[in-house]
Structure 1
Amino acid sequence: MITHCRWLFKTYFNFKYRMKPDPYQINTSRYEQTKIAKSIEKIRGQKFQNVLEIGCGAGYHTEFLLPFSDRMLCIDNSGEALKRAREKISDERVTFKQLDLVTDNLDEKFDLIFCSEVLYYLDLEQLHAASARIIDWLNTGGTLILVHALIEGKYIERSILKRPGARTIHGLFMESDQLCTIYDTIEKFYRITVLKRR
């Protein structure tokens, strides 16, 4: 069933953000800072009217994306993460909304969609449904940025948790006839792919 374990993930992330304001150390880690800088490298100098950030967490990536945005919608399935994000960012251009990528939908389209370290929390059935939804949310000519860890070689992640890694996730989007690949690079621990909607 496509909604399998969604409540468990929501509980897990609520707990993580309740225990630590920055559980992934995005604000202090040189690795994370370098990763986000490389992720937005291909959109420098551009401005997007309507931006969607999928899995915004506590809003650390939101700060990096704001200079490119006239308006941002930032979604996450964790209410605790969104609480911290609202405390961190009070810019009137930004709206935060609790939404589960698997079970909920949006009735608008975006010029830029940014999705970092989110989709490997879905199983393959959920990933196929979510990818179709994400592509549908993207305006014609819109840009999609994907950033995910390379976990295919990790036995627990791949065989026990059944989590797809960057090669599987990004490959699925790159195979879509609705998207064309603008940029794709595989770093030591993660992959960055930039695509455009045809």
Structure 2
Amino acid sequence: MVAAQKLQGMSEPMPSKARALLQKIKRRTWMKYALRGVGPNDNFERLDLAYTIEDPWNMDSPGEIARFEATNRIIAREFGRLDSLLEIGCGEGHQSAWLARVANRVHGLDVSEKAVERARQRVPDGQFDAADLFTHTWPESTPRFDLVTACEVLYYMSDVERTLARMSELGRNCLVTIFAPAARRVGPHLDRIANLRKDWIWHGGTVWLVCWWRNE
């Protein structure tokens, strides 16, 4: 009787908290391996490797969703309704789906083909390309985007200055978000931009710096 009860208990579904904890451990273990050697060095192969698993950055977490919501509020407040928006480092389209709420047309770029395929499924009305910001070719007739965003991606760029300049070439306006501890490295590059505006996003103990500027 006792043995039967044990077997029955083993067949019961794992509690949701336990499943969530196991998923968290698996994600952290994988990302520790996948991002080995990744830093401000344009290591696109390792970034693509991270997307061997879905949602490697845990973009469905309450903290990230709070960041998406706050970013949208700032965009709406500062720029109003946008016609076109380019998202650099769109990943699997988690934030793209939020940006589609403030823009009529969303275009995303990411160096990971795996991530871009998932972004296309998540945001069917968006346009996504697996490409590097500097090598991707645009039709000559393409007008500048109303807004170009780079949220949580500048850390991985070897040349932040060049990235910001390219953003300004492509967009009438630009916006970036940065995990606050990274501001020491990225901040000085942003501070060189004329008419830079800043705000902060807070969620629990996590803080992000938001910066935006106008090019016209």
Identify unmatched segments of 5+ residues in structure 2.
Answer: 1-39
Q: Does 1:111 align with 2:146?
A: yes
2:201/2:209 contact within 8 Å kept: yes
1:24 corresponds to which residue? 57
Residue 52 of structure 1 is aligned with which of 64, 86, 90?
A: 86
1:145 corresponds to: 175
Question: What RMSD in Å do the two structures reach over aligned CA positions?
Answer: 2.3
How far the C-alpha of 1:170 sits from its partner, in A, is 4.1
Matches within 5 A, 1:72-91: 72-91=106-125
| In 1, Cα distance between equivalents of 2:210 and 2:156 | 17
1:44: how far off?
2.6
Which is helix-richer, 1 or 2? 2
Structure 1 stretches of 4+ with a deviation exceeding 3 A read 102-108, 186-189
**Could you say which residue in structure 2 is the equivalent of 1:128?**
161
Q: Within 2, Cα distance between the matches of 1:47 and 1:57?
A: 23
Q: 1:81 & 1:113 partners in 2: Cα distance?
A: 19
Offset of residue 61 of structure 1 = 0.3
CA displacement 1:68-115 (0-9 Å, x = unmatched): 112121000111100111122212xx1101121244454541111121
How far is the alpha carbon of 1:47 from its aligned partner? Answer: 1.3
1:173 pairs with one of 168, 179, 190: 190
Does the C-alpha gap of structure 1 residues 80 and 110 become closer, same or farther in structure 2, counting only changes over 3 Å?
A: same
Following TM superposition, by how much is the alpha carbon of 1:40 offset from its aligned partner in structure 2, in angstroms?
Answer: 1.8
Give the paired residue count. 169
Residue 62 of structure 1: SS of its match in structure 2? helix
In the aligned structure 1, how far is the partner of 2:135 from the partner of 2:92? 21
Question: Which segments of 5 or more consecutive residues in structure 1 lack a partner in the other structure?
Answer: 152-164
Aligned twin of 2:213: 195
Taking the aligned partners of 2:210 and 2:175, their CA distance within structure 1 comes to: 7
Normalised TM-score (structure 2): 0.70
1:62 is displaced (CA, Å) by 0.6
In 2: Cα distance, 1:105 partner to 1:171 partner: 29
Distance 2:185 2:44 in 1: 23
What secondary structure sits across from 1:49 in the alignment? strand
- Equivalent residue for 1:61, pick from 83, 92, 95: 95
The 1:69/1:121 distance shift into structure 2, 3 A limit, reads same
Q: What SS does the corresponding residue of 1:51 show, helix, strand or coil? A: strand
1:147–1:166 CA contact under 8 A, matched in 2:
no
Give the structure with higher Rg (CA).
2
**Contact (CA 8 Å) 1:39, 1:145: kept in 2 or not?**
no
Identity of aligned residues (%): 24
| 1:26 Cα deviation from its structure 2 partner | 0.9
**Structure 1 position 23, deviation (Å):** 0.8
In the alignment, residue 189 of structure 1 is paired with which amino acid? V
Q: CA deviation at 1:133?
A: 0.7
1:15 counterpart letter in structure 2: L
- Aligned residue number for residue 159 of structure 1: none
Q: Distance in 1 between matches of 2:134 and 2:184?
A: 20
Change over 3 Å in CA distance of 1:95–1:191 after alignment to 2: same
Q: Which amino acid aligns with 2:56?
A: P
